[in-house]
Structure 1
Amino acid sequence: MAGTTGTPPGGAGTPGTPRVLRAMNDRAALDLLLEHGPLSRTRIGKLTGLSKPTASQLLARLEAAGLVLATGTSEGRPGPNAQLYAVNPAAAYAAGLDVTPRRI
């Protein structure tokens, strides 16, 4: 029954719910990966202001959804190499349609 759990019929959640916050964090991470290229979990956390565990959880969600891929590791820094993540190029498609009064 819609509304009994605070979720509207479309299932998108209401502002401030954990579901909406997760979606916003996931989108922010995807935007950063598109803008900067491959990033580590730590770097995504710093750029978004999210904790390391939260950044790990969102990357796990995005990876499970096929939206990001582990692409290698960072090198040249002291300490262990960090796993890098990038947007999965096979996860996005675009289409165009030329619509005029006489044809499509």
Structure 2
Amino acid sequence: MVDTQLVRMKDKKAVRDMYRFQTGLFDAVGIFRDGPKITGHTKNAMCFRAPKDKSELDSVHCVAYDGELLLSFSASGTEPFDTSGVARLVKDQLDHIKSPGEYV
């Protein structure tokens, strides 16, 4: 299952603040594993992986921003869970935001 939310705000500082709040919250909770890195977007995108447990389910939550846009991306599925595929989906979305109308 994949859930993507894209929010546009006129206040770019508010977008950065929301990104910092969300990533800070994941860090502060302290139970999440490091998620995949988003190639080409390591300064404005961060992913967190759910804690390991006995279930067959795994999930990744990514937060990213670009200018006026804030992207929240969650994916979950059964083992083996393709975290690199999740990273590619987020990268593709961020690349499309960078070059609207030029992305193929």
Q: What TM bracket, shorter-length normalisation? A: under 0.3
Q: Give the structure with the larger strand fraction.
A: 2
TM-score with structure 1 setting the length = 0.28
Rg comparison, structure with higher value: 1
Q: Give the structure with the larger helix fraction.
A: 1
Which structure is richer in relative contact order (CA contacts within 8 A, separation 6 or more)?
2
